[in-house]
């Protein structure tokens, strides 16, 4: 059976394209940048994809490709969009698709690719080698964070407060008893095992003073009365 020449050409073209894609997937372009820097990747395109959408995807092991940004459907003219930190620039006249990732972070490290985008389930077409991005921490940022870190304080020893001893407390108690004993005590006899109110103890000396004074006044009044009566009788009144 004779195979038409056109079919052979199509088959050869498909084999070549598949081989190119396999070779592109086996090779990676590696970029090592620091935090805060910008990644710029130029992906050569083809005029037959001038009106096709282009996309920037991230590849993770065991997962479906993650589409980070997609261009609008082109009219064959310059097409540029920005989605967050991703800037896509499709220039059909130059057959170039450019991707920029700004303000890189350490967690951006990974494998990426630029493709001709088709809605699923159709597979995208790889435009360039997969890009292996490695983002390292900025040393200046690390030094600044070390300077701003809180210094460790030296441990301090807190000594316990010394409480008054039993001897000191006994001295205080003795001094208070001395103040109480310095007050004038009553001469009255207090039976043993009898509780005396301190107020009554203070009032007893006052009562012992008032009674003699009252008796003296009474005696003087009686003497004055007797003298008055005797004087009246002497004058015959």
pLDDT at 53: 94
Q: What DSSP line would sit under 171-196, residue for residue?
A: HHHHHHHHHHHTSPPP-S---TT---
CA dihedral 22, 14, 93, 84 (to 10 degrees): -40
Adjacency order of strands within the sheet including 39-44: 39-44, 96-101, 86-91, 79-83
For the chain, list the strands marked E by DSSP. Answer: 29-34, 39-44, 53-59, 66-70, 79-83, 86-91, 96-101, 110-117, 125-126, 131-136
Alpha helices in 41-164 (DSSP H): 139-147
> Which of 61, 59, 81, 77 is closest to 69 using CA atoms?
81
pLDDT value at position 34?
Answer: 97
**What pLDDT score was predicted for residue 193?**
56
DSSP 8-class letter at 128: S
Averaged in consecutive runs of 10 residues, what is the pLDDT profile of the chain (237 residues)?
52 46 66 97 92 96 95 88 97 95 97 94 93 93 61 57 48 41 46 52 57 80 81 71
Two tokens at 68?
């980070």
Q: What integer pLDDT is reported at residue 180 of this predicted model?
A: 40
> Virtual CA dihedral for 139, 140, 141, 145, nearest 10 degrees?
100
pLDDT given at position 145 = 58
Nearest to 66 by CA among 17, 115, 18: 115
- DSSP tag of 208: H
């Amino acid at each position: 059976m004779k195979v038409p020449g056109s079919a052979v050409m199509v088959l050869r073209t498909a084999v070549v394209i598949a081989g190119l894609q396999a070779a592109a997937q086996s090779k990676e372009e590696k970029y090592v940048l620091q935090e805060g820097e910008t990644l710029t990747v130029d992906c050569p395109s083809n005029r037959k994809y001038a009106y096709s959408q282009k996309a920037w995807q991230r590849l993770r092991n065991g997962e479906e490709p993650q589409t980070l940004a997609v261009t609008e459907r082109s009219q064959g003219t310059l097409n540029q969009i920005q989605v967050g930190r991703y800037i896509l620039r499709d220039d059909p006249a130059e057959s170039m698709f450019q991707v920029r990732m700004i303000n890189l972070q350490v967690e951006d490290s990974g494998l990426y690719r630029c493709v001709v985008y088709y809605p699923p389930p159709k597979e995208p077409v790889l435009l360039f080698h997969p890009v292996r991005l490695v983002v390292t921490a900025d040393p200046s940022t690390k030094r600044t964070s070390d300077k701003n870190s809180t210094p460790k304080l030296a441990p301090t020893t807190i000594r316990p407060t010394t409480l008054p001893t039993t001897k000191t407390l006994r001295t205080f108690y003795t001094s208070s008893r001395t103040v109480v004993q310095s007050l004038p005590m009553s001469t009255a006899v207090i039976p043993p095992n009898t509780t005396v109110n301190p107020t009554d103890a203070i009032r007893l000396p006052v009562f012992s003073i008032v009674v003699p004074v009252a008796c003296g006044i009474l005696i003087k009044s009686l003497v004055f009365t007797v003298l008055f009566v005797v004087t009246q009788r002497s004058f015959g009144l």
